[in-house]
Amino acid sequence: MSLKQFIDEGLSLVRYLEAHHDIEENYLYPILARKMPSFQAAQRGAPQCKLVQQHRAIHKGMDAFEAYLRACRNGETEFELGVLKDKMDTWGDVLFVHLDEEVKELEAENMRKYWTVAEVKAIPV
């Protein structure tokens, strides 16, 4: 794999995560919020749901990661693997915590507390 291909793969990851989070926040989470408190945005100025807060933290680090990769691709900056790692380290931990917590929220045992099988099957995905 060439350096250009490697950088393009990193930028593809950014686009994928942005699209994934947009779908969750604009489509799936509002449906789940109808019955699941962990997906509901808090009322009266309190913070958004924890999973959305995690998205924000991921994107803050991911934006710097993306900017670095774009600068390298455009020839404005010399690519250094150590710098890329430092950029990834700023959001890697929250990404993995988020994945673990999201899976826990969506596991069958937890979903059964709020939804019937028929209701889950009726979610248009």
The predicted-structure confidence for 11-57, as pLDDT tens digits, reads as follows 999 999 999 999 988 888 889 988 998 887 644 444 578 888 899 99
Q: Cα–Cα–Cα angle for 108, 16, 65, nearest 5°?
A: 120
Give the count of domains, the chain.
Answer: 1
pTM: 0.83
pLDDT cut 70: percent of the chain above it: 94
- Provide the 3-class DSSP secondary structure of residue 115: coil
Mean pLDDT, the chain, rounded, equals 91
pLDDT, residue 43, reads 44
Residues in the chain: 125
Domain that holds residue 23: 3-122
